[in-house]
A = this chain, B = another copy of it.
Amino acid sequence: MSFDFTLIAQDGDARLGRFETPHGLIETPVFAPVGTQATVKAMRPRDLVELGATLVLANTYHLYLRPGDKRVRDLGGLHRFMAWDGPILTDSGGFQVFSLSDTRRIDADGVTFKSHIDGSIHRFTPEKSIAVQENLGADIIMMFDECPPPNEYEYVRQSLARTHPWALRCLDAKTRADQALFGIVQGGVFRDLREQSARFMVELDLPGYAVGGLAVGETKAEMHAVLEWLNPVLPAGKPRYLMGVGAPEDLVNGVLRGIDIFDCVLPTRIARNGAAFVRGGRINLRNARYTDDPSPVDPTCDCYACSRFSRAYIRHLVKADEILASILLTTHNLHFLLRLMDDLRKAIRKGRVAEFAGEFFEAEAVD
């Protein structure tokens, strides 16, 4: 099973590529909507297809706990279970174990944690994470790692010493040829640790490399620096995935620094809080100023929500706690990011990504 990554064009550090997976081709740079519990919240698979989504993420930690990875396997795997025929990526469960579980204990072998659903005790090891991800059956699976506090040098150094052996154990545990196992580069905001982690992963000759441990409290300048340090270390011929990043400005900044794949709950989560991306920032439909506003959420947008409904109507739905508010705002926010990625791909192809980014940030500054 091939996971060929073809670079079609480069424009500065920005890359236009194609990644082959068993469930279809992914044009990169790409943004992956997140379907934590095997559903992108408020979206049907056919809506995602219509919006142009090509890659969807699902969370190993959540699906392991409910409905259970063996159940998903016995029901035909994640693609069939959630009726999404395109490529899927699962995370390793590591990040969720560290951030969602109220008690967890890390040792050299793995992590013991408490379910956020019923408080039951569970244990993830590198082998267990791979076994769960093989049961789920995504096209791209991730190494089990720890996501350390980014600014604590000594902690990050020790965490790398724990995580790198886990990478080898993940590789050993892997049995399915139809899944690509991506490595994860950690190292916080420290150049020596990031480069050390990247060199270790590159040595393993993996089908793709993720940058983990960002968007967790460091500054934007630190995030950008990390991406710039990694650029010359990571091989040009493999896809690069910036985990958990999805603000529009971060997508542009990431693409400018060589990132090919992004995922984030941001567009779907803020939608359920009444917020919408617009050129130059965000608006929140809870705001009383939209009560009588007959204009669409984003007058420049051609999504279903913006072509049929007013801000006044969507505000009414938000205030009245109607499901349609979440449906329409999720539709718009995903469309906004997927169109942004499409615009970025077109700009790279034309060799004008810097110009595109300049215009984008000018609009941002207006707000």
A: which residues have CB within 8 A of B? Answer: 37-39, 41-46, 66-67, 71, 74-76, 81-83, 291-292, 294, 304, 308-310, 312-313, 316-317, 319-320, 322-324, 326-328
Nearest CB to that of A312 among chain B residues?
A: B75
Chain B residues contacting A38 (CB-CB under 8 Å) are 313, 316
Name which of A38, A74, A82, A324 has the most chain B CB atoms within 10 A of its CB: A324
Are A44 and B304 also in contact (CB < 8 A) when A75-B292, A291-B67 are?
yes
A14 → chain B, closest Cβ, in Å?
Answer: 35
Q: Complex formed: what's the CA distance from A310 to B42 in Å?
A: 18
B292 to A71, Cβ gap below 8 A? yes
Which of B37, B45, B308 makes the CB contact (< 8 A) with A45?
Answer: B308
User: Are A327's CB and B323's CB within 8 A?
Assistant: yes
Contacts of A313 in B (CB 8 A): 38, 75, 81-83
User: Contact at B312–A71, with CB atoms within 8 Å?
Assistant: yes
Extra contacts besides A37-B322, A67-B319 (12): CB < 8 Å: A37-B316, A38-B316, A39-B324, A41-B323, A42-B327, A66-B320, A71-B292, A71-B312, A75-B292, A75-B312, A76-B294, A83-B308
The answer to whether B83 and A309 have CB atoms under 8 Å apart is: yes
Docked CA distance A309–B38 (Å): 12
Min Cβ gap A312→B in Å is: 5
List the B side residues contacting A83 at CB < 8 Å. 308-309, 313
A44-B304, A83-B309, A304-B46 as given contacts; A39 in contact with B292, CB under 8 Å: no
